[in-house]
Amino acid sequence: ISFQQNPWSAKGHRKDLDEICRNVIGDMDAYGVCVVDNFLGEDKGKAVLKEVLQLYDKGVFRDGQLVSSRGSGDLKTIRGDQIIWIDGKEKSCNNIQQLISQVDAVVMRANRMTNNGKMGMYNINGRTKAMVACYPGLGSHYVKHVDNPNQDGRCITAIYYLNLNWNVRENGGLLRIFPEGWLGDKVADIEPIFDRLLFFWSDRRNPHEVQPAYDTRYAITLWYFDAKERAEACRRYEKERHS
């Protein structure tokens, strides 16, 4: 399946919540990956971008761990993204907060709409704060990894992209997902284009990488928790803490 031409993302065709949820449920159950284009519409999308650029200009972003690894003898940085955690109540983050509420609305409704109220057999009852990330270009990238390899409770990764007029051929920054179980080592290539919302299962089913970006590349990520897995992860954590 090529996400660039998914049928429901007809340019400019605004979708109601129900239709989006049906698409999310269908794609997550079928592929474990789902793309929703034109999620907020141009004006609201640009308002979110403006707030992110203001945060970036304020210099509040922190470098993601720069883990170097010995690649062919020379030291190379493993990731170049800079991040800041936002709960949305901060001043002048009102549009980021509205984005978060919109994504919550889709996830919580989809969770309720699926049979016996579970999407992918999860019962979603919470999420992390929003992680606003910027890849500063100059080849910054993120090596192949799994978001939640050890049952920490996160079941769905939601990423909202903000990059106007992004052209992967020139700017790179492609998100490549290697969905487990897809036939014939097919991959999902997701261009980080403006006003695009991406969902994928956070666990080992979806290893992914960000290919080197050659222009500043912004994204806002939310991770949603499965009640049961999260409770167990917290119990394990508490036990380790006291052991």
Ligand X SMILES: Cc1cc(NC(=O)CCC(=O)O)nc(C)c1Br
Contact 206, 137 (CB under 8 A): no
Helix 42-57 vs helix 94-113: crossing angle, to nearest 10: 130
3-class state of residue 95 by DSSP: helix
Over the window 119 to 138, marking each residue x when it contacts ligand X by CB under 6 A and - when it does not, the resulting string is --------------x-----
Confirm or reject binding of residue 177 to ligand X (CB under 6 A).
no
Q: Among 142, 166, 200, 201, which residue sits at the site for ligand X (rule: CB under 6 A)?
A: 142
Residue nearest to Fe ion (CB): 147
3-class state of residue 196 by DSSP: strand
- Cα(187)–Cα(201) distance, integer angstroms: 15
Residues in 54-93 at the binding interface with ligand X, rule: CB under 6 A: 64, 83
Confirm or reject binding of residue 144 to ligand X (CB under 6 A).
no
Residues in 202-221 at the binding interface with ligand X, rule: CB under 6 A: 208, 210, 219
- Cα(160)–Cα(196) distance, integer angstroms: 6
- Cα(53)–Cα(79) distance, integer angstroms: 21
Confirm or reject binding of residue 152 to ligand X (CB under 6 A).
no
Give the nearer residue to ligand X in terms of CB position, either 107 or 222. 222
Contact 105, 17 (CB under 8 A): yes
Give the nearer residue to ligand X in terms of CB position, either 113 or 187. 187
| Footprint on this chain of ligand X (rule: CB under 6 A) | 64, 83, 133, 142, 145, 147, 159, 175, 192, 208, 210, 219
